[in-house]
Amino acid sequence: MPRSHFPRVPPALRLAAGPLPPAPLGAMLGLLVRHLAREHPGILRRMGPHAGRSFLIDPTDLPFLLLLRPATGALSAHRRTWPPAHDARLAGPLAAFLAMLHGTEDGDALFFSRDLTIEGDTEAVLALRNALDDAEIDLTEELATVSGPLAAPLRRTLALAERITGLALHRAEPTGDYT
Which domains are assigned to the chain?
Answer: 11-135 (3.30.1050.10), 138-166 (no CATH)
123-133 pLDDT, tens per residue?
A: 999 999 999 98
Decide if pLDDT at 13 tops 80. Answer: no
pTM for this entry: 0.86
**pLDDT score at 178:** 37
**pLDDT score at 173:** 66
Q: Answer yes or no: are the C-beta atoms of 42 and 51 closer than 8 Å.
A: no
Mean pLDDT of the residues in the chain: 88
99-114 pLDDT, tens per residue?
A: 999 888 888 899 899 9
Distances (CA, A) of 134 to 114, 119, 129: 22, 23, 9
Beta-carbon contacts of residue 59 (< 8 Å; ≥ 6 apart): 9, 66, 92, 93, 94, 97
